């Protein structure tokens, strides 16, 4: 082991060292869940709030969310308090964490599968009585079991979906989950806007296509989009394809649709928030999307999904759709969506349409 790694290992042990506190987890009254990363991650974590609250109605559940993913839980009835993490503002972040420290949480649930320094620093400042997390292999040669900050870990799971892996943290509360379904709650304003938009579409099957993934290499390009739209329409005419779009991409989306020249393809209204997108998806019949948060939104409403995923089976296992009806087309590339079969997407979509028609 290098000297640098030895120093980091010592610092990690020092940072995670703490005195043990006698406390029975089942007596917890105040629980904080740390989930301040991506939108999709928050959606996949939502069963935790429901299953814990259903088992212990008197527990107060708080969430440390990010500005980007907090809308996912904006109307969640199982959550009592939502706090914002300010990862890019040291002063705001510190003030927020000190406020959390004053709340004197009994338990913090941290869902990182790796040893993350910024998560450890936050936990040290918040100072809960107990910290539970999912299995960690460790870092800098330090085993996860040597990190005294963490009082309990789940068992290592090499086969499960992240939804199940995260739900396993509730084992320490003696909670046996009754469902792994995701929760997204909408306001009447969001739902009515979506219903009004869809009510003007007379086609039997309404297909939503999301073009953008979590990074640039995970996008459906205009050429492939045209082939997908034409391929589906050539085999089934009674459709309307809605291209999901946001305010900052509306002009670009309109140009792509105009260049295709298909009257059965239209843009969605500009969705300002993830809840706007969710409300629209709830009203559609089929979703086609690269691997992204839209997969999890559609899964929350159990919508049929055709997803496109890079050739990474571990990533797919952890993030795959959980809808009753879903098909995934894998690209040949292990990073990004390069060289995938458009005809496979068309075939999978037609298969979904046939199953929808039989329902």
The pLDDT tens digits of the residues spanning 129-151 come to: 999 999 999 888 898 888 999 99
Q: What is the pLDDT of residue 189?
A: 97
Task: Please tell me the predicted confidence (pLDDT) of residue 1.
Answer: 61
Range of the domain at 269: 189-358
Q: Is 166 helix (H, G, I), strand (E, B) or coil?
A: helix
Q: Look at residue 18 in the predicted model and tell me its pLDDT.
A: 85
Q: What angle do CA 59, 122, 134 make, to 5 degrees?
A: 65
Judgement on whether residues 166 and 250 belong to the same structural domain of the protein: no
The domain total for the chain is: 2
Report the 10 Å Cβ neighbour count for 107: 24
Please check whether residues 297 and 204 belong to one and the same domain: yes
| Residue 276 backbone phi and psi in degrees, to 5 | -60, -45
What length does the chain have? Answer: 359
Question: What's the Cα-to-Cα distance from 345 to each of 1, 224, 302, rounded to whole Å?
Answer: 48, 10, 19
Q: Residue 32: beta bridge partners?
A: 62, 108
Residue 302 pLDDT > 90, yes or no?
A: yes
When mean pLDDT is compared across 1-15, 190-204, 284-298, the lowest value belongs to 1-15
Task: Identify the domain boundary among 146, 173, 200.
Answer: 173
Domain annotation covers residue 345: yes
57 and 85 part of one domain:
yes
Q: Is the pLDDT of residue 101 over 90?
A: yes
The answer on 207 and 121 residing in a single domain is no
One domain, residues 51 and 104:
yes
Average pLDDT, the chain: 94
Residue 15 pLDDT grade (very low, low, confident, very high; cuts 50, 70, 90): confident
End-to-end CA distance of the chain: 61
* 297 and 324 assigned to the same domain: yes
Position 336 scores a pLDDT of 85
* Same domain for 212 and 281: yes
Residues 88 and 129 in one domain: yes
Domain-ending residue, one of 126, 149, 173: 173
CA dihedral for 323, 325, 329, 330, sign (positive or negative):
positive
More reliable by pLDDT, 92 or 45: 45
From residue 294, how far is each of 43, 89, 290 by CA, in Å? 10, 28, 8
Q: What is the CATH number of the domain that holds 151?
A: 3.40.50.2000
Q: Is residue 111 part of a domain?
A: yes
Confirm whether 215 is domain-assigned: yes
Q: What is the pLDDT of residues 238-255, one digit of tens each?
A: 999 999 999 999 999 999
| 196 and 162 part of one domain | no
Give the pLDDT band (50/70/90) at residue 122: very high
One domain for residues 340 and 209: yes
Q: Is the pLDDT of residue 216 over 80?
A: no
Q: Is the separation of the CB atoms in 270 and 250 below 8 Å?
A: yes
Residue of 152, 184, 188 lying closest to 168 (CA atoms): 152
């Amino acid at each position: 082991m290098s000297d640098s790694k030895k120093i980091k290992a010592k610092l990690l042990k020092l940072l995670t060292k703490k005195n043990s506190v006698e406390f029975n987890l089942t007596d917890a009254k105040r629980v904080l869940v740390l989930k301040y990363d991506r939108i999709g991650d928050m959606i996949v974590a939502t069963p935790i709030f429901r299953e814990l609250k259903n088992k212990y109605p008197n527990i107060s559940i708080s969430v440390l969310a990010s500005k980007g993913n907090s809308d996912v839980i904006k109307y969640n009835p199982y959550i009592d308090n939502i706090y914002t993490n300010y990862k890019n503002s040291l002063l705001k972040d510190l003030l927020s964490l000190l406020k959390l420290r004053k709340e004197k949480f009994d338990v913090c649930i941290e869902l990182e599968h790796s040893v993350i320094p910024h998560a450890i620093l936050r936990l040290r400042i918040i100072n809960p009585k107990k910290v539970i997390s999912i299995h960690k292999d460790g870092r800098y040669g330090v085993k996860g079991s040597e990190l005294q900050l963490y009082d309990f870990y789940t068992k290592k799971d090499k086969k499960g979906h992240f939804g199940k892996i995260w739900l396993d943290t509730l084992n320490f509360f003696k909670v046996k989950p009754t469902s792994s379904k995701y929760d997204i709650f909408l306001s009447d304003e969001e739902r009515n806007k979506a219903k009004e938009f869809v009510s003007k579409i007379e086609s039997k099957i309404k297909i939503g296509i999301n073009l953008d993934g979590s990074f640039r290499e995970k996008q459906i390009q205009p050429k492939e989009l045209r082939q997908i739209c034409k391929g589906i329409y050539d085999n089934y005419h009674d459709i309307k394809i809605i291209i999901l779009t946001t305010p900052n991409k509306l002009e670009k989306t309109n140009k792509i649709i105009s260049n295709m020249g298909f009257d059965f393809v239209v843009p969605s209204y500009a969705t300002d928030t993830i809840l706007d997108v969710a409300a629209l998806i709830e009203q559609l019949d089929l979703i086609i999307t690269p691997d992204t948060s839209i997969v999890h939104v559609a899964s929350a409403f159990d919508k049929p999904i055709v997803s496109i995923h890079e050739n990474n089976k571990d990533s797919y296992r952890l993030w795959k759709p959980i809808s009753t009806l879903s098909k995934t087309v894998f690209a040949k590339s292990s990073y990004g969506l390069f060289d995938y079969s458009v005809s496979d997407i068309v075939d999978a979509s037609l298969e979904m349409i046939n199953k929808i028609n039989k329902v």
